[in-house]
Amino acid sequence: MIKKLSNKDKIDWLNFINSNEKLNDKDIYEKKNRSDKLEKIIDLHGYSLENANKAIDEFIKICFSQKISKITVITGKGSRSKNKDNPYQSENFSILKYSVPEHIKTSSNLMKMIKKINFEDIENSSKGSFDIFLRKIKV
């Protein structure tokens, strides 16, 4: 089935292509809160455990160097994880929600940059994200 584009859609598309407007990366974006503390968010949905750990390592290092004060890590709740069906894997550590914070805690290099991890969010079964608060760089 072929649908025809309306003239308005064609004009909108041409305007978008010719503009300098950029699309936001859904995985990583930043925002400023009221107190002008820079925050960043990373979305790890769909990452394998190995790739999620690599991504969070790099992301924390970059945020620390950019003087970001808070990172929100979106892991998902793990309710649709296919690993839950495998009785030979630990349910708690096959899901990014639990394994990513555990990876961070066991990395002494990362923990030197971190002031606090909000573990209450990790334990809350209705939340699919948690916050990391970074230390300030000592000059």
pTM here is: 0.64
Structural domains of the chain ordered from first start: 24-134 (3.30.1370.110)
Q: Could you report the per-residue pLDDT of 78-103, keeping only the tens digit for each?
A: 655 555 555 444 444 447 888 899 99
Token pair 């064609």 in the structure block, residue? 10
The answer, yes or no, to whether residue 58 has pLDDT greater than 50, is yes
Per DSSP, what are the bridge partners of residue 130? 73
One DSSP character per residue, 23-80 reads PPPSSEEEEE-TT--EEEEEE-TT--HHHHHHHHHHHHHHHHHTT--EEEEE---STT
Q: Could you tell me which residue, 83 or 116, shows the higher pLDDT?
A: 116
Residues 26/132/90/127 CA torsion (nearest 10 deg): -60
Residue 43 pLDDT more than 60?
yes
Confidence of residue 28 (pLDDT cuts 50, 70, 90): low
Residue pair 102/113 in contact by the 8 Å Cβ criterion: no
Strand-pair category, 38-43 with 70-74 = parallel
Which whole number is the average pLDDT over 31-39? Answer: 59
Does the structure show a pLDDT above 70 at 32? no
For 49, the token pair is 């455990």
- Asked whether the predicted pLDDT for residue 48 surpasses 90, the reply is no
Average pLDDT over residues 117-136: 83
Enumerate residues 6+ apart whose C-beta is below 8 A from 47.
Answer: 55, 96
